[in-house]
Structure 1
């Protein structure tokens, strides 16, 4: 019998935009264990946002089994790039967390980034695409919630802006210049993977200027993201629309998608973020 060569020529698969299910009650160990028994879901590019919005994207996807990670560490301060100290990454996480929110559309949960003091929030278009109407619920890092109106969407770049309807002053996250990002830079991914608000993971920039084609299943008018940042920081369903930040706590990307090997639909350390320069330009246009 010839030797088995494991998947030497099998190309990576992309998972389709998915959203984490909107929690009916606070997550408990029992509830988290139930999430491991997720059935077969539609997939072809998997964007990192959650599990319950599959039907909103129609058919045409290859079936994959999605097995969420059982590691639910809320904040990981480990510096996988080998530069900087744990305390430095802890400080960055503390600085960024108040500017990252959880977004619930009623049927699913994603993430968002506060970008103005009056409550404008940048997220992915596919996060708000499942909204029932023109509003979504936003949950802040302190646990408080508010309703937000959808200001505008740009499906061509998979970006959207919502704005908190209540008055108040909010903590925006400063934009960094994504053109100055280098392969090997330390980054943190912040969001609500699997509905776990305020989760932080660390990694490095693995590659730059990737093109992510969400139309690999043959759909027309599907999104093609260019200039994406590739990272090995863990990105999972629920992270979509969340922040990818540098060690100065600046936004360098909006977490959007993950690739899979074909053997597993979970995170394999290949995630993608829309560059901050693209995100800022689109947000400025949507805010008018």
Structure 2
């Protein structure tokens, strides 16, 4: 009997002295996870309305509205192919605006775009440089592969000697020009590149121009005025028979409308997209020019605006 009692006591002692698996209570762990999740939700809700998609007709990227008047910060390489510095800018609600590039900084891959509108916009605040710390949690919002309003998260992995920020937050083509944010929803960097040996895709190393550089760039150029948008007609289309618009050659998004033109008379405005003429879908600007060259008396245009389509009659 005694040996049996000893074994039981020994087992009890072993059980009592077994170290705990974790010294952090489960409720505390859950609360921390829920707190991190809520931070992600709050950052996205606050910032995403101020993140836009920028199209030049030959490519697209992202941008961040940094002033209520419609000043957009993006990459130089995003807007470099824009004809005349004119771009199409879409918000997360689908509303489109015409923008004019007013300044570029190629060494730091930055550009400023001013939206041609009197509308007021939600904007993002730039972070204080002292608050940019390796190890902090970061968030990227943009339009990878054209998927606007996409959120990814990670940490700030490194600050380069030139001030560039390195992150493991997933960045892909289309994220360029979008914001890298801290947990307060402040912009700490402008996403611009990924390390992709052999073009094999994202390796978990992305780069952004620091908010410190971006702040100086904005302050130096924010008061520049955009040159007026010029309207153009195809040389083969007489102005009296032309539609009176400038369009993006790739997307057929209207960039400018000539006052008093047929397009202006029916309410066409910058940001609209010409989809079809007389029910026939347009494949490109050449189709539009070919139709107008026939000197039609009238036509039915299918126009897209704010994700809605409408058929409108235009008389030339």
TM-score scaled by length of structure 2: 0.58
Q: CA RMSD in A?
A: 1.7
Instruction: Tell whether the 8 Å contact from 1:153 to 1:286 is kept in structure 2 after alignment.
Output: no
C-alpha separation between the residues in 2 aligned to 1:83 and 1:272? 29
Number of aligned pairs?
A: 192
User: Displacement of 1:84 after TM fit?
Assistant: 4.2
1:6-55 alpha-carbon deviations (Å, 9 max, x no partner): xxxxxxxxxxxxxxxxxxxxxxxxxxxxxxxxxxxxxxxxxxxxxxxxxx
Partner in structure 1 of residue 287 of structure 2 = none
> Does residue 209 of structure 2 align to residue 281 of structure 1?
no
Higher helix share: 2
Change (3 A) 1:275 1:82: farther
- How far apart, in 2, do the equivalents of 1:192 and 1:83 lie? 27
Partner residue, 1:73? none
TM superposition shift of 1:149: 0.8
- Note closer, same or farther for the CA distance 1:179–1:83 as it changes in structure 2 (3 Å cut): farther
Aligned partner of 1:165 in structure 2 is 116
Of 72, 94, 99, the match for 1:148: 99
Counterpart of 2:190? Answer: 254
Q: How many Å apart are 1:82 and its aligned residue? A: 7.2
Q: Distance in 2 between matches of 1:162 and 1:98?
A: 17
Cα distance between partner residues in 1 of 2:165 and 2:115? 28
Unpaired stretches in structure 2, ≥5 consecutive residues = 1-31, 224-316
User: What CA deviation, in whole Å up to 9, does each residue of 1:114-160 have, x standing for no partner?
Assistant: 01110000001111101122210000011111101111111122111
List aligned pairs for 1:1-288, cutoff 5 A: 84-210=35-161, 226-262=162-198, 265-288=200-223
Q: What's the counterpart of residue 46 of structure 1?
A: none
Is there any run of 5+ residues in structure 1 with no aligned partner, and where?
Answer: 1-80, 211-225
C-alpha separation in 1, matches of 2:81 and 2:201? 22
* Structure-2 separation of matches of 1:153 and 1:82: 41
Q: In 2, Cα distance between the equivalents of 1:152 and 1:122?
A: 10
CA contact (8 A) 1:178 1:253 kept: no
Q: Which string of whole-angstrom CA distances, capped at 9 and with x for unpartnered residues, describes residues 224-279 of structure 1? A: xx2111000001000110000000000000001111244x5211110011000111
Say which SS state the counterpart of residue 280 (structure 1) adopts. Answer: helix
- Larger of the two Rg values belongs to structure: 2
Structure 1 residues 231 and 82 mapped into 2: Cα distance closer, same or farther (>3 Å)? farther
